[in-house]
Structure 1
Amino acid sequence: MAIDAHQHFWDPARADYPWMEGPELTPIRRAFGPADLAPLLKANGIDASIVVQCRSSLEETEEFLAVAHATPSVIGVIGWADLTDAALGGTLDRLHGLPGGAKLVGIRHQVHDEADADWLLRADVQRGLAAVFARDLTYDLLVRTRELRAAIATAKAFPQGRFVLDHAAKPPIADGGSAEWSDRIASLAACDNVWCKVSGLATEAKWTDWDAERLFPFVQHVANCFGEDRLIFGSDWPVCLLAGSYGDIKSALEACLAKLGPQAREKTFGVNAKRAYRLAVG
């Protein structure tokens, strides 16, 4: 089974998305739903997807579970829940009991938008992560280089937990990369309970001037650090449309993986996602 482990649905007419500001985001400031994604999955040979939270909203998480319940191709939901809430455990149990609740596979928060680079290390956040892992859910790390030190400490603090790093921590591709990003990625990858999504890379490059060759050094670095058993494909659709089509994104990653060995593609496009998210699929 080929899996896209990172895609989104949203409708700016129905809800606010604080990150969706600025004229450069006009092309994606419209509704995107399952009917828009379905033909793209079929055309690109992808069997199923995981929908990922877009805003800090329990209502959105509930909506995504309902979508997953009604959409067989959506095999997982990475939702949002308040990690700082002392009653988080009860909230997660309630979500699990909703229609589609069995497809809740992970929790995520926009950590890179927090003013505090060490937000993940707050006592109330760590308490919330303990509740997430107690329910066998995965935690998606949405961080940039600035927050990677806290992410490393957190992964070490919960060796029994499963973490997935989104978008390879958004390397500064447009600026040519950075040694700080490279070094911290290596340190995080030393934690064997962390997987890495090779997703969202094209939108970290110059949107109108990128190709697989320019992405390859970054894909190669995370592959060297995490190994082929901990890389996961995510389209980051529809955010990716800012830089290229769904097919462009998938083809570029395939071109990069082709240089990394015969099994890299198969594992990255399905096997590893099933393991990281404990997906009950064939």
Structure 2
Amino acid sequence: MVVDAHQHFLFPSRVHYPWMEDPTLAPLRRDFTPDDLRPLLEACGVERTVLVQTRSSLEETRELLRIAAESGFVAGVVGWVDLRDPGVGRVLDELMALPEGRYLVGLRHQVHDEPDPDWLLLPEVQRGLAAVAERGLVYDLLVRTRELPAALATVRRFPELRFVLDHLAKPNIARGQWEDWLERLEPLAEQPNLWVKLSGLVTEADWRRWKPEDLAPYIHKALELFGPARCMFGSDWPVCTLAAEYPQVKEALEQALPSPDPRIMGENAVRVYRLPA
């Protein structure tokens, strides 16, 4: 089974996305729906996906769960809850008790948009992560190089919690970022409860002039550090369309892999997110 471990749906026709105010993101200011993605998955041989939140919104999380139940291809949802809420455990229980609550497999927050690089280490956030761990869910880390030290400390504090690092912590490929990113990424490879998504790299490269060869060193380093048993494919659709279409994203990853690997292309996502067979 081929699983896209990272995709989104967007509905700017009726919902405000604060991060979309950036004028360079204007091409994303239209709806991207399950009907748009379904033919792309079929053409690329992708059978299931993990649908990931885009707003700090419980309303969106509930909507994504409903979409998952109706889509026929979404196997799990990485939603959002306010980790700082003292009642976060109750909120999680309510979500999981919904008829479509079985699709909730993880949580995420746009940590890299927080002014405080140590946001993850706030006592109330740590308390919220404990609630996530108690319910057997995954926590996706959306961070950049700046937040990696706090991410490392958090992963170490919760050895029972499965963490997934989105987009390899977004190295600035267009500007050739390497040394500081790698220095802060390497210690995470020593944490057995963390996996990484080989996703979101085309939009960290030069959107107009990127080549698969630009992404390959970052993919190769991730494979060296984490091994193929802890890496997974993600398209980051439709955000990826700023730089590449869905088939190009999948092909760029496959071209960078030494050989086809079913673990990276699906098995790891099924295992980490505990997706239904």
Settle same-fold status: TM greater than 0.5. Answer: yes
Distance 1:190 1:20 in 2: 35
CA contact (8 A) 1:198 1:232 kept: yes
Distance 2:100 2:148 in 1: 32
Counterpart mapping for 1:169-188 below 5 A: 169-188=169-188
- Residue type at the aligned position of 2:254: E
Structure 1 residue 73 and structure 2 residue 69: aligned? no
- Residue type at the aligned position of 1:204: E
Structure 1 residue 269 and structure 2 residue 265: aligned? yes
Distance 1:63 1:56 in 2: 13
Tell me, what secondary structure is at the counterpart of 2:77? strand
Counterpart mapping for 1:41-60 below 5 A: 41-60=41-60
Distance 1:120 1:5 in 2: 23
Question: What's the counterpart of residue 195 of structure 1?
Answer: 195
CA contact (8 A) 1:185 1:222 kept: no
Counterpart mapping for 1:1-282 below 5 A: 1-257=1-257, 259=258, 262=259, 265-281=261-277
- Residue type at the aligned position of 1:162: R
User: Identity of paired residues, percent?
Assistant: 55
- Residue type at the aligned position of 2:102: A
Q: TM-score, normalised by structure 2?
A: 0.98
Distance 1:111 1:69 in 2: 28
Q: CA RMSD in A?
A: 0.8
CA contact (8 A) 1:65 1:99 kept: no
Q: TM-score, normalised by structure 1?
A: 0.97
CA contact (8 A) 1:161 1:193 kept: yes
Tell me, what secondary structure is at the counterpart of 2:248? helix
Shift of 1:55: 0.3
Distance 2:216 2:69 in 1: 37
- Residue type at the aligned position of 2:181: W
For 1:82-137, what per-residue CA distance to the aligned partner results, in whole angstroms no more than 9, with x for missing partners? 00011001100100111211010000000000000000001000000000010000
Distance 1:28 1:15 in 2: 13
Distance 1:221 1:21 in 2: 33
- Residue type at the aligned position of 2:119: W
For 1:168-214, what per-residue CA distance to the aligned partner results, in whole angstroms no more than 9, with x for missing partners? 00011011122110111111111110000000001000001111111
Tell me, what secondary structure is at the counterpart of 2:163? strand
**Large movers: runs of 4+ above 4 Å:** none
CA contact (8 A) 1:69 1:100 kept: yes
| Count of residue pairs the alignment pairs up | 277
